[in-house]
Amino acid sequence: MVILDTNTILRYLLQDNSEMADIVEKTLDERPCLITVEIVAELVYVLTKVYKIDRKSVANMLRNFFTLNNISIIKKEIVSFALTLFIETNLSFVDSLLVSYSSIENYEVLTFDKELKRYLGK
């Protein structure tokens, strides 16, 4: 199994370096690939802040990518719910992940963030 890092996934999604994108595509075709929650968080950050892609487009782009063969996502249910929250709220993606962990796995989240507390209470 191969863990794909943020940069490799970006090259594939953005197709801004065809040589690198081809390497990623070949890897996706030939080997099982793993994506961690941390990588998803970094992808969301880079795509929204650096590339200035809107939240909904980023979420849809990632959801489509995650459906490719040979991709496994750690905590897929958590990531999926966080992407939904990211689209539907003003929460950052990391805060969306915290709400997801709280909602799905019943983790208690200690925070001083008033907006985050509001979503944790739902």
Question: Would you write out the chain's pLDDT as a tens digit for each of its 122 residues?
Answer: 999 999 999 999 999 999 999 999 999 999 999 999 999 999 999 999 999 999 999 999 999 999 999 999 999 999 999 999 999 999 999 999 999 999 999 999 999 999 999 999 86
CATH architecture of the domain formed by 1-74: 3-Layer(aba) Sandwich (3.40)
Cβ–Cβ under 8 Å, residues 62 and 44: yes
Alpha carbon 24 to its chain centroid, in Å, reads: 17
Upper half-sphere CA count for residue 48 (Cβ side, 13 Å):
19
Quote the pLDDT of residue 40. Answer: 98
> Would you list the domain boundaries of the chain?
1-74, 76-122
Question: Looking at the whole model, is its pTM more than 0.75?
Answer: yes
Burial of 18 (0-12, 13-18, 19+ CB in 10 A): exposed
